[in-house]
Amino acid sequence: MEDQIRSEGRFRYVEAGEGPILLLLHGLFGALSNFKDVIDAFSGKYRVIVPLLPLYDLPLKKTNVKNLAIYVSEFIQMMGLQDVTTLGNSLGGHVALVCAVDHPDNISRMILTGSSGLYENSFGGGYPRKGDKEYLRKKIELTFYDPIHATDALVDECHDVVNDRSKLIRILYFAKSAIRHNMKEDLPNIQIPTCLIWGEDDSITPPEVAREFDNLIPNSELIWVAKCGHAAMMERPEEFNGIVREWLGKQVN
Protein backbone atom coordinates (compact mmCIF):
# COMPACT_ATOMS: atom_id res chain seq x y z
CA MET A 1 0.00 0.00 0.00
CA GLU A 2 3.02 2.25 0.22
CA ASP A 3 2.65 3.09 -3.46
CA GLN A 4 -0.82 4.53 -2.74
CA ILE A 5 0.41 7.18 -0.30
CA ARG A 6 -0.52 10.73 -1.22
CA SER A 7 1.15 13.92 0.02
CA GLU A 8 -0.40 17.28 0.76
CA GLY A 9 2.04 19.69 2.40
CA ARG A 10 3.29 18.04 5.59
CA PHE A 11 0.50 15.45 5.53
CA ARG A 12 0.77 11.94 4.08
CA TYR A 13 -2.24 9.70 3.74
CA VAL A 14 -4.01 6.91 1.88
CA GLU A 15 -7.50 7.45 0.49
CA ALA A 16 -9.94 5.09 -1.21
CA GLY A 17 -13.59 5.24 -2.20
CA GLU A 18 -16.35 7.84 -2.00
CA GLY A 19 -19.14 8.50 0.46
CA PRO A 20 -19.32 9.16 4.22
CA ILE A 21 -15.91 9.74 5.82
CA LEU A 22 -14.26 6.88 7.72
CA LEU A 23 -10.95 8.10 9.18
CA LEU A 24 -8.64 5.28 10.33
CA LEU A 25 -6.01 5.95 13.03
CA HIS A 26 -3.24 3.39 13.40
CA GLY A 27 -1.39 2.44 16.56
CA LEU A 28 2.17 2.78 17.77
CA PHE A 29 3.50 -0.14 15.73
CA GLY A 30 0.67 0.18 13.24
CA ALA A 31 1.28 -0.07 9.53
CA LEU A 32 -1.06 0.56 6.63
CA SER A 33 -1.31 -3.19 6.18
CA ASN A 34 -3.06 -3.42 9.57
CA PHE A 35 -6.10 -1.75 8.05
CA LYS A 36 -6.03 -3.39 4.62
CA ASP A 37 -9.15 -5.48 5.24
CA VAL A 38 -11.04 -2.46 6.60
CA ILE A 39 -10.09 -0.36 3.57
CA ASP A 40 -11.10 -3.15 1.18
CA ALA A 41 -14.41 -3.75 2.98
CA PHE A 42 -15.56 -0.13 3.21
CA SER A 43 -14.09 1.74 0.25
CA GLY A 44 -17.04 0.66 -1.89
CA LYS A 45 -19.50 2.78 0.10
CA TYR A 46 -17.30 5.05 2.21
CA ARG A 47 -14.49 7.49 1.66
CA VAL A 48 -11.83 5.73 3.72
CA ILE A 49 -8.86 7.89 4.70
CA VAL A 50 -5.77 6.82 6.66
CA PRO A 51 -3.46 9.67 7.72
CA LEU A 52 0.06 8.48 8.45
CA LEU A 53 0.66 9.68 11.98
CA PRO A 54 4.06 11.41 12.36
CA LEU A 55 5.32 8.97 14.97
CA TYR A 56 8.97 9.48 14.07
CA ASP A 57 8.90 13.07 12.82
CA LEU A 58 7.87 15.22 15.77
CA PRO A 59 10.50 16.97 17.94
CA LEU A 60 11.02 14.99 21.14
CA LYS A 61 9.31 17.69 23.22
CA LYS A 62 6.20 17.24 21.09
CA THR A 63 6.31 13.46 20.88
CA ASN A 64 3.10 12.84 22.78
CA VAL A 65 -0.54 11.91 22.29
CA LYS A 66 -1.83 15.50 22.44
CA ASN A 67 0.32 16.57 19.50
CA LEU A 68 -0.81 13.60 17.44
CA ALA A 69 -4.40 14.72 18.08
CA ILE A 70 -3.51 18.25 16.97
CA TYR A 71 -1.99 16.78 13.80
CA VAL A 72 -5.18 14.80 13.07
CA SER A 73 -7.37 17.84 13.74
CA GLU A 74 -5.29 19.94 11.36
CA PHE A 75 -5.43 17.15 8.79
CA ILE A 76 -9.25 17.10 9.01
CA GLN A 77 -9.29 20.87 8.50
CA MET A 78 -6.82 20.75 5.62
CA MET A 79 -8.89 18.09 3.84
CA GLY A 80 -12.14 19.95 4.50
CA LEU A 81 -13.71 16.85 6.05
CA GLN A 82 -17.10 16.97 7.75
CA ASP A 83 -19.28 14.45 9.59
CA VAL A 84 -16.24 12.26 10.25
CA THR A 85 -16.30 8.82 11.85
CA THR A 86 -12.95 8.08 13.48
CA LEU A 87 -11.82 4.48 13.90
CA GLY A 88 -8.74 4.02 16.08
CA ASN A 89 -6.75 1.03 17.26
CA SER A 90 -4.49 1.12 20.32
CA LEU A 91 -2.63 4.47 20.35
CA GLY A 92 -4.80 5.52 17.39
CA GLY A 93 -7.86 5.05 19.59
CA HIS A 94 -6.25 7.27 22.22
CA VAL A 95 -5.71 9.93 19.57
CA ALA A 96 -9.36 9.62 18.53
CA LEU A 97 -10.40 10.13 22.15
CA VAL A 98 -8.30 13.28 22.53
CA CYS A 99 -9.71 14.61 19.27
CA ALA A 100 -13.25 13.96 20.53
CA VAL A 101 -12.51 15.96 23.70
CA ASP A 102 -10.18 18.72 22.52
CA HIS A 103 -10.93 19.02 18.77
CA PRO A 104 -14.53 17.83 18.31
CA ASP A 105 -15.38 19.94 15.27
CA ASN A 106 -16.54 17.79 12.33
CA ILE A 107 -16.24 14.50 14.30
CA SER A 108 -19.64 12.83 14.59
CA ARG A 109 -18.93 9.22 15.61
CA MET A 110 -16.08 7.17 17.04
CA ILE A 111 -15.09 3.51 16.91
CA LEU A 112 -12.40 2.23 19.29
CA THR A 113 -10.70 -1.15 19.33
CA GLY A 114 -8.01 -2.03 21.86
CA SER A 115 -7.64 1.67 22.68
CA SER A 116 -5.23 3.12 25.18
CA GLY A 117 -6.40 6.08 27.24
CA LEU A 118 -7.07 4.38 30.57
CA TYR A 119 -4.31 1.86 31.09
CA GLU A 120 -2.47 -0.78 29.12
CA ASN A 121 0.24 -3.38 29.33
CA SER A 122 2.82 -2.02 26.89
CA PHE A 123 4.20 -4.84 24.77
CA GLY A 124 2.84 -7.30 27.27
CA GLY A 125 4.62 -5.71 30.22
CA GLY A 126 8.02 -4.99 28.70
CA TYR A 127 9.76 -3.11 25.91
CA PRO A 128 11.33 -4.70 22.85
CA ARG A 129 15.02 -5.52 22.88
CA LYS A 130 17.32 -4.59 20.04
CA GLY A 131 18.55 -7.27 17.72
CA ASP A 132 16.68 -10.23 19.22
CA LYS A 133 14.03 -11.28 16.71
CA GLU A 134 12.79 -14.29 18.67
CA TYR A 135 12.27 -12.17 21.79
CA LEU A 136 10.48 -9.64 19.61
CA ARG A 137 8.33 -12.35 18.04
CA LYS A 138 7.20 -13.57 21.48
CA LYS A 139 6.21 -10.03 22.45
CA ILE A 140 4.33 -9.48 19.19
CA GLU A 141 2.50 -12.78 19.68
CA LEU A 142 1.00 -11.31 22.86
CA THR A 143 -0.89 -8.89 20.62
CA PHE A 144 -2.97 -11.75 19.27
CA TYR A 145 -5.08 -14.63 20.53
CA ASP A 146 -3.58 -16.85 17.83
CA PRO A 147 0.22 -16.34 17.53
CA ILE A 148 0.06 -17.30 13.85
CA HIS A 149 -0.71 -13.63 13.17
CA ALA A 150 2.79 -12.64 14.32
CA THR A 151 4.06 -13.15 10.79
CA ASP A 152 7.67 -12.86 9.64
CA ALA A 153 6.74 -9.65 7.79
CA LEU A 154 5.26 -8.12 10.95
CA VAL A 155 8.29 -9.16 13.02
CA ASP A 156 10.62 -7.66 10.41
CA GLU A 157 8.68 -4.35 10.44
CA CYS A 158 8.93 -4.08 14.23
CA HIS A 159 12.55 -5.23 14.20
CA ASP A 160 13.47 -2.41 11.83
CA VAL A 161 11.80 0.12 14.15
CA VAL A 162 13.37 -1.01 17.41
CA ASN A 163 16.82 -1.17 15.82
CA ASP A 164 16.60 2.46 14.74
CA ARG A 165 17.65 4.47 17.81
CA SER A 166 15.74 7.60 16.84
CA LYS A 167 12.53 5.64 16.19
CA LEU A 168 12.87 3.56 19.35
CA ILE A 169 13.28 6.68 21.50
CA ARG A 170 10.07 8.10 20.04
CA ILE A 171 8.24 4.82 20.55
CA LEU A 172 9.20 4.98 24.23
CA TYR A 173 8.15 8.64 24.47
CA PHE A 174 4.73 7.85 23.01
CA ALA A 175 4.30 4.82 25.26
CA LYS A 176 5.05 6.92 28.34
CA SER A 177 2.81 9.72 27.08
CA ALA A 178 -0.09 7.29 26.65
CA ILE A 179 0.35 6.11 30.24
CA ARG A 180 0.56 9.64 31.63
CA HIS A 181 -2.39 10.93 29.60
CA ASN A 182 -5.13 9.10 31.46
CA MET A 183 -8.54 10.20 30.19
CA LYS A 184 -10.78 8.90 32.96
CA GLU A 185 -11.94 12.42 33.91
CA ASP A 186 -12.54 13.42 30.28
CA LEU A 187 -14.57 10.45 29.06
CA PRO A 188 -17.94 11.51 30.58
CA ASN A 189 -17.74 14.66 28.44
CA ILE A 190 -17.72 12.72 25.17
CA GLN A 191 -21.24 12.89 23.75
CA ILE A 192 -20.80 11.42 20.26
CA PRO A 193 -21.97 7.85 19.58
CA THR A 194 -19.08 5.49 20.36
CA CYS A 195 -18.64 1.84 19.42
CA LEU A 196 -16.17 -0.23 21.45
CA ILE A 197 -15.07 -3.39 19.64
CA TRP A 198 -12.92 -5.48 21.96
CA GLY A 199 -11.13 -8.80 21.81
CA GLU A 200 -12.16 -10.98 24.73
CA ASP A 201 -8.53 -12.11 25.00
CA ASP A 202 -6.84 -8.72 24.70
CA SER A 203 -3.85 -8.86 27.07
CA ILE A 204 -2.58 -5.35 26.29
CA THR A 205 -5.79 -3.40 26.94
CA PRO A 206 -7.65 -6.17 28.78
CA PRO A 207 -11.45 -6.57 29.00
CA GLU A 208 -11.75 -4.52 32.19
CA VAL A 209 -10.44 -1.54 30.22
CA ALA A 210 -13.25 -1.93 27.69
CA ARG A 211 -15.82 -2.16 30.48
CA GLU A 212 -14.50 1.03 32.06
CA PHE A 213 -14.63 2.86 28.73
CA ASP A 214 -18.21 1.68 28.32
CA ASN A 215 -19.15 2.85 31.81
CA LEU A 216 -17.56 6.27 31.43
CA ILE A 217 -18.51 7.25 27.85
CA PRO A 218 -22.22 8.19 27.95
CA ASN A 219 -23.30 7.15 24.45
CA SER A 220 -21.25 3.98 24.01
CA GLU A 221 -21.90 0.40 22.97
CA LEU A 222 -19.47 -2.42 23.80
CA ILE A 223 -19.26 -5.41 21.45
CA TRP A 224 -16.99 -8.37 22.19
CA VAL A 225 -15.03 -10.45 19.69
CA ALA A 226 -14.33 -13.99 20.90
CA LYS A 227 -10.91 -15.64 20.55
CA CYS A 228 -9.36 -12.30 19.68
CA GLY A 229 -6.56 -10.16 21.07
CA HIS A 230 -5.56 -6.51 20.72
CA ALA A 231 -6.03 -5.99 16.97
CA ALA A 232 -9.49 -7.26 16.05
CA MET A 233 -9.40 -5.70 12.57
CA MET A 234 -6.38 -7.92 11.78
CA GLU A 235 -7.23 -11.09 13.68
CA ARG A 236 -10.99 -11.26 13.01
CA PRO A 237 -11.42 -9.00 9.96
CA GLU A 238 -14.75 -10.33 8.69
CA GLU A 239 -16.38 -10.22 12.13
CA PHE A 240 -14.84 -6.83 12.88
CA ASN A 241 -16.00 -5.32 9.60
CA GLY A 242 -19.47 -6.80 10.09
CA ILE A 243 -19.75 -5.13 13.50
CA VAL A 244 -18.58 -1.79 12.10
CA ARG A 245 -20.97 -2.02 9.16
CA GLU A 246 -23.97 -2.85 11.36
CA TRP A 247 -23.15 -0.16 13.91
CA LEU A 248 -22.66 2.52 11.28
CA GLY A 249 -25.95 1.48 9.70
CA LYS A 250 -27.71 2.23 12.98
CA GLN A 251 -26.18 5.72 13.11
CA VAL A 252 -27.82 6.91 9.90
CA ASN A 253 -30.11 9.84 10.67
125-148 confidence digits (pLDDT tens): 445 555 578 888 888 899 999 999
pLDDT tier at 1, thresholds 50, 70, 90:
low
pLDDT given for residue 24 in this prediction: 98
- Least confidently predicted of 83-97, 110-124, 228-242: 110-124
CA 64/CA 61 separation, integer angstroms: 8
Question: Pick from 117, 122, 116: which is nearest to 143 by CA?
Answer: 122
Beta-ladder partners of 49: 15, 23
Does the pLDDT value for residue 124 go beyond 50? no
Structural domain spans, the chain: 2-120+182-250
For 123, list phi and psi in degrees, rounded to 5.
Answer: 50, 40
For 47, list phi and psi in degrees, rounded to 5.
Answer: -95, 100
pLDDT tier at 2, thresholds 50, 70, 90:
low
DSSP 8-state secondary structure symbol assigned to residue 236 = S
* 3-state class (DSSP) for residue 182: coil
- Least confidently predicted of 42-56, 131-145, 215-229: 131-145
pLDDT tier at 196, thresholds 50, 70, 90:
very high
Does the pLDDT value for residue 30 go beyond 80? no
Helical H segments across the chain, by residue range: 36-42, 65-79, 91-102, 133-141, 152-162, 165-180, 207-216, 232-235, 237-250
Percent of the chain whose pLDDT exceeds 90: 75
pLDDT given for residue 61 in this prediction: 93
Percent of the chain whose pLDDT exceeds 70: 94
Contact (CB, 8 A) for 210 and 121: no
DSSP 8-state secondary structure symbol assigned to residue 203 = S
The Cα-based distances of 24 to 36, 159, 191 in angstroms read 11, 24, 20
Q: Bigger pLDDT: 213 or 132? A: 213
Question: Pick from 121, 122, 99, 93: which is nearest to 213 by CA?
Answer: 93
Q: Which CATH topology does 2-120+182-250 take?
A: Rossmann fold (3.40.50)
SS3 content of the chain, % helix, strand, coil (to 5): 45, 15, 35
| Highest mean pLDDT, choosing among 5-9, 76-80, 142-146, 174-178 | 76-80
Rounded to an integer, the average pLDDT of 174-193 is 94
Contact (CB, 8 A) for 200 and 225: yes
